[in-house]
Amino acid sequence: PGWKSATATLVLSILGLSSVAAWTSWKMQQLLITTHTQRVEYIANRFPRDVELYSDMLPVAEGLQKTIDNVSVPGLAIWFKSTDGTMTLAKSSEVTDELMSSGEMPLKPQVYQVGDRYMILYRGDVTTKNKPLGKVYMAQDITAEQHQLIAAIQGLTAVCILATLATILAIAMRIRRSLQPLQEMSRMAGAISAADLNSAQLQLNNAPTEVKELAQTFNLMLSRLGDAWEQQRQFIGNISHELRTPLTVVSGYLQSLLRRSNNLNDYQREALETAGAEADRTIKLL
């Protein structure tokens, strides 16, 4: 039961630490995505209004470029394509061909790796005066934040591994501590003799509660065995005494009869000698 309990505790500890590490990593990733997605969506919501404002004063391409220049922030790449997606009408200076090709993938709120950078991508339709104008694409560079997140996750993983190792070590030490009293009990059981039953007591002051209960039961068993052995010894002693006394009297009378009787024939003397010898042998046995 001790081994099963320790194993169950170890498995639960590992599962618990792994679950906490996985959930924390996922939560940190989602928080990073949500924070930057909200920022990108805020800029995207401004984009149609600015485009509509500039379209009254400038040609479409110049109005789009002016809007992109106004809403651009460091680390945010923006480009605008026609409705059919065949022509790039405007783009910011941070847009690369690799980014533009990645913008065609099905976009979800997650982190995408583009080359050696990590990006959050966004795509939305732009309409002015209830007419579709095209699609705006945004790519927020979160490489630095992603590297920090990866480092944090690695640190959390290392902490979980250390905690797991510490748990294994603690359980191993507890098992070893629990087995020491059992080893002492086994040693005593192998070395104890019948004469030591009443005086033998197993002392386990620092043992776990379960082992202490077992030690108390073991001591009670030794006490009962000692009492039974003492009762058996007294019974045999009483029987020996009760039988030896009359046999001694019988042997004495036989020896006296042999010494004083001169009228015994050989058969009678041999019979008395045999009876006396058997009586003496029985006395010695008792």
Residue 87, amino acid: M
Question: Can you tell me the distance from the alpha carbon of 159 to that of 245, in angstroms, rounded to the nearest whole number?
Answer: 83
Is the pTM of the predicted complex or chain greater than 0.85? no
**Residue 23, φ and ψ in degrees, nearest 5:** -65, -40
Confidence (pLDDT) at 176? 76
Check the CA dihedral 235-236-238-242 and report its sign: positive
Question: Can you tell me the distance from the alpha carbon of 146 to that of 123, in angstroms, rounded to the nearest whole number?
Answer: 21
Strand arrangement of the beta sheet that strand 112-114 belongs to: 88-91, 76-81, 131-141, 117-128, 112-114
What are the residue ranges in the chain where pLDDT is below 70? 1-11, 13, 102-110, 191, 194-199, 201-208, 210-211
Cα angle for residues 146, 44, 100 (degrees, 5° grid): 65
Confidence (pLDDT) at 5? 57
Confidence (pLDDT) at 199? 67
Q: Are 67 and 138 in contact (CB under 8 A)?
A: no
Of 99, 103, 95, whose CA–CA distance to 116 is shortest? 99
